[in-house]
Chain A
Amino acid sequence: MKRVLGSWPPKAFALFLVGISSLCLPGCYDIQEVDDMNLVLAIGVDETEDHLINVTAEFVNPSSAPSSGQDGSSTSGGKQPVIVRQETGASIEDAMGKFEREIPHSVYLAQNMLVLFGESYARNGIDRALDFFERDRAFRRNQLFLVTPNAASDVLSASVDPEPLNALGIRELVEQSSTQLRFVQSEQQQIMEEYLSPSQSPVMALISLQSVGRPALQGVAVFRGGRLVDTLNVDEMQGLGWLLGSTRQVSIHLPCAGEDGAGTTIRILGSNTKFQAQPGQRDLNVQLQVHARAEVEQICPREKLDEKTFKDLNRMAAAYIQRSMQTTIAKLQQDDVDASQFGKRVFLQNPCYSANQ
């Protein structure tokens, strides 16, 4: 070595070695310029009538995507800021592979924000899809898993003005609701945690198209294992929120006594649910205590806001929450699904009891 290098100083040799070695790093080999990629923002998964998988992908259209040079307009030249393309295959991987073959520029999945399952596909089981999204390292684990009763391609093509990008708009809708009920933000890592927990009951946000053709949050979809079993509407979703834990800024409406009117509106600023499981000899007693702070937004027209009214409102609100929780539990029991995560919470509090069961 000494003869070859001659009079090279050791520092220069070390630098040369580092320089040459750095060329062997997986650098230039995976270079991918930002304008040589198709940014995927959302993926829809549906099942066709002949039991094939129809995958819808929402790509950014760079020529019409919003940028600083467009004076705030969402699109330019009348083109849509996103391109929606569909492929059908025997599996999700198969359909995704077709995108690579049929669309110029490579498909870039790391920025995918939504995975929208069609109801029919979800009812037949999403286990394989979960496996695919977990294994593929290109996907971020904070992408939202959603369910739609409509065709996924229709939802991903719908307008979500004023947000120019459909996927961003839908994600925004879900995130807005999740400020009230955290569980609505059905991110992949949360879904996987619920899927693998003792309860095995993931809950995903339910997005459907309204009559005007715009997507909206309609409630949540409840799964048993990997299969969709039922959906909960917004009121039942609130009940599930109180069952599961903390909520914020939830409004409840109470009717006025003996007369018509807008009723009383109470905003529950924040609530916490205390779960207590007490295993007995034969059965299991579960106690839920909801502690909430609220403010009155509106009261019935001829009512006076005095101490008695406050007490009455307090009692009525408590009854409302209790009723809402009972209704939701009844529905979940009917569906034989543990979306309220009782199994998981019992396991956490009494691992021995769960093991014996």
Chain B
Amino acid sequence: MFKRFRRNGGERRILDCERELREDISATEGQEPIPERPEFMQQWLESEWDRCSDLQTREIEICGERILLFWLRGLVDLIRLETGILQPLARVSKRRLQLSDVVSILHTVTVHEISTRRQWNTALADGQVVLWLCGRPHALALDVSHAPGRAIQKAENEPTLEGPQEAFVEQIEMNLALLRKRIRTPRMKVESVRVGEYTNSTVAVVYVEGIAKPTLVEEALQRIRRISIDGVGDINKIRELISDAPFTLFPTTEETERPDRVCGNLLQGRIAILVEGAPNCLLVPAQFIHFLVAVDDYYFHYTLTLFIRMLRHVAYWSSLLLPGLYVALLSYNQDLLPTPLLVTVAAQHRGIPFPTIIEALLMLVVFEVLREAGTRLPRAVGQSVSIVGTLIVGDAAVRAGLVSPGMVIVVAGTGVASFALPAYGFVNSSRLIQFAFVIAAGVSGLVGILILALILITHLVSLRSFGVPYMAPVAPFSWSDMKDMFIRAPWFAMKRRPEHMETVNETSNRTPLPKQRKALGWDLNES
């Protein structure tokens, strides 16, 4: 499965050695025990947290015992600090306090014992309160954190008419809770890894045990553990660092902001990767077909989905090929056009000072600039820019005789076709590839398009995502997976999980077929 990793073994071994060396160095850093004597502790804290004005310290004395509390301002819920920690401590009357005594009297849900400096720093950075009894080699990390963050909101990038509306937020705990809410089984496993030298962000790998292929999970974890970087604040860094083919234009990991979509995919044997601070989630492995599937496909009746999904496939290939085909047909292969259409096109193109390829490239660049402007500007202004750009600039260009109306229609059609695609990353790749097709068409006409298409298909079939062929289930072909490829079969017909995921448990639906239900006498009409 992981053939790619067996290649270039020598080179990889060298890299592994370097990584291990780095890990050894970083592993020893911060592993020293926390100082026991108060003056050493003060010295260490002053050097470690020097010029950190948000570090808060509170010293209390209980029956002759000095207790020090440390936390970072803004990350802690002060009410819980007062009611859960300070008030219970104030009621203590016992002398010679031990940590176990403190644990038993505190009203804090989560308490961890820490013994190293690294754990101390991590607990503080995570928004926990560190409680230290002077002179003890251990401390307590008390979770009363209340990190600032927004509430759960509606999914804006992947809207749906029917189905759940919730979207992920920047807090990984909340995102995991959204998944737990939907998959209520201990079989849903969450394995966390800290990534980032400075950000120390939590990256969670979520999968369903008994469905996801164990080697796939191990591979994902290994790739994440190998990351050695200053910081991870968004999903894209992880995506680029763990991607199978970093130089391809096609995304080999899928991104989503919808917890329901993640749950559906987890049950298909895929793995979700969540990152602290990222309001979206990575799904691996990702195949070509996943980027042409919208969540609505599963929320609408399958008869409607059949038509819409076919339409989406047509839209994708149109967005890639339409400008290139237009250039090829107008520059080389005019004989393929019906006569009335050619006469019309020729009439429209008369007086245009540029060759068709220049005209096409010009229009595509202008369209991309307008699209970029519309995306970057605030929504209300962005829409205006898009409309003004499309209507006024396009019309003015036609009236000025710089471009032909046919070209405006083709470029607009290409843009509209790309908007029909549900995955933004996939749209971006088609935006770039269409330029290559236009240039190929301008150089060699339909032959050029054919050659580029062959190269593209060769590239696509050579890609893998976490060891799974990118073009599965088309190449390699799997008839049973075709039920959720160009069409979406009715739920009662989809009994098995995708073959190419090599799931542990292949059966996903044990409901009898309508015919079998009838035979079992389940149908109400029959009774």
| B356 neighbours in A (Cβ, 8 Å) | 33-34
CA gap between A33 and B445 in the complex, in Å: 11
| Distance from B188 Cβ to chain A, minimum over Cβ atoms (Å) | 40
| B352 neighbours in A (Cβ, 8 Å) | 35
Contacting pair A25 B332 (CB below 8 A): no
Q: Does chain A have a CB within 8 A of B432?
A: no
Contact mask for chain B residues 329-369; partner A; CB cutoff 8 A; 1 contact, 0 none: 01110110101101111111111100110000000000000
| B346 neighbours in A (Cβ, 8 Å) | 34-35, 37, 39, 60, 62, 65
CA gap between A291 and B350 in the complex, in Å: 54
Which stretch (A107-115, A217-225, A297-305, A345-353) binds chain B? A107-115
| Distance from A10 Cβ to chain B, minimum over Cβ atoms (Å) | 13
Interface size on B, residues (CB 8 A): 30
Q: Does chain A have a CB within 8 A of B161?
A: no
CA gap between A30 and B448 in the complex, in Å: 13
| A35 neighbours in B (Cβ, 8 Å) | 346, 349-352
CA gap between A35 and B350 in the complex, in Å: 6
| A23 neighbours in B (Cβ, 8 Å) | 443
CA gap between A38 and B68 in the complex, in Å: 92
| Distance from A13 Cβ to chain B, minimum over Cβ atoms (Å) | 14
Q: Does chain A have a CB within 8 A of B451?
A: yes
Q: Does chain A have a CB within 8 A of B444?
A: yes
CA gap between A324 and B343 in the complex, in Å: 42
Within 8 Å by CB of B444, from A27, A37, A110, A111, lies: A27
Contacting pair A62 B350 (CB below 8 A): yes
Contacting pair B348 A69 (CB below 8 A): yes
Contact mask for chain A residues 14-41; partner B; CB cutoff 8 A; 1 contact, 0 none: 0100100011011110111111010101
Q: Does chain A have a CB within 8 A of B17?
A: no
Q: Does chain A have a CB within 8 A of B15?
A: no
| B349 neighbours in A (Cβ, 8 Å) | 33-35, 62
Contacting pair A65 B343 (CB below 8 A): yes
| Distance from A296 Cβ to chain B, minimum over Cβ atoms (Å) | 39
Within 8 Å by CB of A22, from B332, B335, B443, lies: B443
CA gap between A108 and B405 in the complex, in Å: 23
CA gap between A25 and B443 in the complex, in Å: 9
Give chain A's interface residue range (CB within 8 Å of chain B). 20 to 34
Contacting A at CB under 8 A, from B462-507, are none
Closest to A35 in B: B349
Q: Does chain A have a CB within 8 A of B447?
A: yes
Q: Does chain A have a CB within 8 A of B455?
A: yes
Q: Does chain B have a CB within 8 A of A68?
A: yes
Closest to B332 in A: A31
CA gap between A31 and B343 in the complex, in Å: 18
Within 8 Å by CB of A66, from B343, B405, B444, B445, lies: B343
Contacting B at CB under 8 A, from A52-70, are 60, 62-63, 65-69
Contacting pair B455 A18 (CB below 8 A): yes
Given known A28-B443, A39-B342, A66-B343, contact A110–B335 (CB-CB < 8 A)? yes
| Distance from A11 Cβ to chain B, minimum over Cβ atoms (Å) | 9
Q: Does chain B have a CB within 8 A of A165?
A: yes
| Distance from B82 Cβ to chain A, minimum over Cβ atoms (Å) | 63
Within 8 Å by CB of B334, from A15, A28, A32, lies: A32
Contacting pair B332 A168 (CB below 8 A): no
Q: Does chain B have a CB within 8 A of A227?
A: no
Contacting A at CB under 8 A, from B424-466, are 440, 443-445, 447-448, 451, 455
| Distance from B267 Cβ to chain A, minimum over Cβ atoms (Å) | 37
| B355 neighbours in A (Cβ, 8 Å) | 31, 33
Contacting pair A67 B443 (CB below 8 A): no
Q: Does chain B have a CB within 8 A of A140?
A: yes
| B455 neighbours in A (Cβ, 8 Å) | 15, 18
Contacting pair A34 B448 (CB below 8 A): no
Closest to B354 in A: A33
Which interface residue of B339, B345, B348, B440 has the most chain A CB atoms within 10 A? B339
Contacting pair A27 B445 (CB below 8 A): yes
CA gap between A41 and B343 in the complex, in Å: 10
Closest to B356 in A: A33
Contacting pair B334 A37 (CB below 8 A): yes
CA gap between A35 and B348 in the complex, in Å: 9
Contact mask for chain A residues 138-173; partner B; CB cutoff 8 A; 1 contact, 0 none: 001000000000000000000000000100100000
CA gap between A22 and B405 in the complex, in Å: 31
Closest to B348 in A: A67
9 A-B residue pairs with CB within 8 Å: A31-B331, A31-B332, A32-B331, A33-B331, A35-B351, A62-B349, A67-B347, A108-B334, A111-B337
| 10 further contact pairs, Cβ within 8 A, besides A34-B334, A39-B342, A165-B343 | A15-B455, A18-B455, A27-B332, A28-B443, A33-B331, A34-B345, A35-B349, A39-B339, A60-B343, A68-B344
**Top-5 shortest CB links A-B:** A27-B444, A110-B335, A65-B347, A67-B347, A62-B350
